[in-house]
Amino acid sequence: MDLDSLSSLTIVFIFLIWLDSKRFCSGVGITQHDTTYTSLQLRPCWEMEEFLVLKECTQCSDYEKKARTECSSTGFVENVKCKNSDQVELRSCRSVTAEELKFWKFEALMFSIGTVFAILVVLRQQTLDQKAEQKVLRQIEGI
């Protein structure tokens, strides 16, 4: 395997990894909420006072993702009850299992990339060693 085909394979492999990372490691974007509220838009009670989580983070249905603003940003919600006002509201949250799965996919991808490049380094070193050995042999033959 010569160096040109090795570098071409490397470029193709990097492109494929980049393409895969776009599909597998794409996380939910963090959205910023507008902190300026008019008198008609009240801030959620959990932003202003202490709250108790009634129902842990659960995934929204496809309909809820479109219908509820709490579901649209992360796809997960939890029920919270504010202590002072006794209001029960939904709050957007991130799923621990989904985040953990993304983390392990990222780790596997990085391990794969590291392994491929370690193999490329070994192959490159072997190629350079062979060239150096051939050069020394030619120099010895010339004597």
CATH value at residue 79 = 3.30.720.220
pLDDT at 28: 45
pLDDT digits (tens, 9 = 90+) for 86-110: 889 999 999 888 899 999 999 999 9
Total tally of structural domains belonging to the chain:
1
Give yes or no for residue 141 having a pLDDT over 80.
Answer: yes
Going 6 to 8 to 11 to 16, the CA torsion angle's sign is negative
In a domain, 49, yes or no: yes
pLDDT at 24: 53
In a domain, 143, yes or no: no
- Hey, how many other C-beta atoms are within 10 angstroms of the C-beta on 63? 9
In a domain, 46, yes or no: yes
Name, in order, each residue with C-beta under 8 angstroms of 112's C-beta and a sequence gap of 6 or more: 17
Question: Residue 51's domain spans which residues?
Answer: 42-94
Say how far apart CA 10 and CA 121 lie, in whole Å. 11
Radius of gyration of the chain (CA): 28
In a domain, 65, yes or no: yes
Can you name the residues that pair with 89 across neighbouring β-strands?
Answer: 80
Average pLDDT taken over every residue of the chain: 83
In a domain, 114, yes or no: no
